[in-house]
Amino acid sequence: MAKKIADYKDYVGETIKAFDEGRVLLVSHGKEGLPNVMAIGWGTVGIIWRKPMFVVLVRPSRHTYKLIEETGEFTVNIVTPQLKEVVQYCGTVSGRDHNKFKEKQLTAIPSKKVKTPIIKECILHFECRVVYKNDLIPSELEKSIIPALYPKGDFHLVYFGEILACQYES
Residues within the interface to ligand FMN (CB under 6 A): 22, 36, 38-42, 57-59, 62-64, 87-88, 91-96
- Alpha-carbon gap, residue 67 to 82, rounded angstroms: 28
Residue 168 C-beta: closest distance to ligand FMN, Å? 22
Name residue 126's beta-bridge partners: 76, 166
Q: Report in angstroms how near the CB of residue 139 gets to ligand FMN at its nearest.
A: 21
Pairing of strands 43-48, 24-29: unpaired
Strands 24-29 and 73-78 turn out to be antiparallel
Residue number of the CB atom closest to ligand FMN:
91
Residue 12 vs 112, nearer CB to ligand FMN: 12
The Cα–Cα gap between 37 and 33 comes to 13
Which residue type is seen at 57?
Answer: L
Contact predicate 42/18, CB 8 Å? no
CB of 61 to ligand FMN, least distance (A): 7
Instruction: Closer to ligand FMN by CB, 37 or 163: give it.
Output: 37
Q: Which is nearer to ligand FMN, 10 or 135 (CB)?
A: 135
Is the Cβ of residue 51 or residue 59 nearer to ligand FMN in the bound state? 59
SS3 content of the chain, % helix, strand, coil (to 5): 25, 35, 35
**Smallest distance from the beta carbon of 170 to ligand FMN, in angstroms?**
26
- Of the pair 52, 95, the CB lying nearest ligand FMN is at 95
Q: How far is the CB of 166 from ligand FMN (least distance, A)?
A: 20
Amino acid letter, 78: I
